Amino acid sequence: MNRPEIVHESVHESVHESVRESVRCYVALGANLGAPATAFGAALKGLDGSLGVQVLACSALYSSEPFEASGPPYLNAVCALNSTLTAPALLGVLQQLELDAGRVREFHHQPRVLDLDLLFFGQAQVQSPKLTLPHPRWFERAFVLLPLMEFEPSWVTPAMLKGVEDQTISRLEPEFPLWRSKPPQP
**DSSP alpha helix (H) spans, 6-121:** 36-48, 87-100
User: Can you give the C-alpha Rg of the chain in angstroms?
Assistant: 16
Contact present, 37 and 62 (Cβ < 8 Å): no
Q: For this structure, is 166 an active site residue?
A: no
Contact present, 170 and 65 (Cβ < 8 Å): no
User: What pLDDT does 117 receive?
Assistant: 93
Which is the catalytic residue, given 3, 105, 112, 166? 112
Contact present, 22 and 15 (Cβ < 8 Å): no
- Position 175 pLDDT exceeds 70: no
User: What pLDDT does 87 receive?
Assistant: 94
Residues 135-144 have pLDDT tens digits of 999 999 999 9
Q: For this structure, is 24 an active site residue?
A: no
Which is the catalytic residue, given 48, 100, 105, 115? 115
Q: Which CATH architecture has domain 23-171?
A: 2-Layer Sandwich (3.30)
Q: For this structure, is 48 an active site residue?
A: no
**Mean pLDDT, to the nearest integer, of 161-185?**
76
**Mean pLDDT, to the nearest integer, of 162-186?**
73
Residues 59-118 have pLDDT tens digits of 999 999 988 777 899 999 999 999 999 999 999 999 999 888 776 666 566 678 899 999
Q: Give helix 87-100 / helix 36-48 axis angle, nearest 10°.
A: 140
Which is the catalytic residue, given 24, 100, 105, 117? 117
pTM equals 0.83
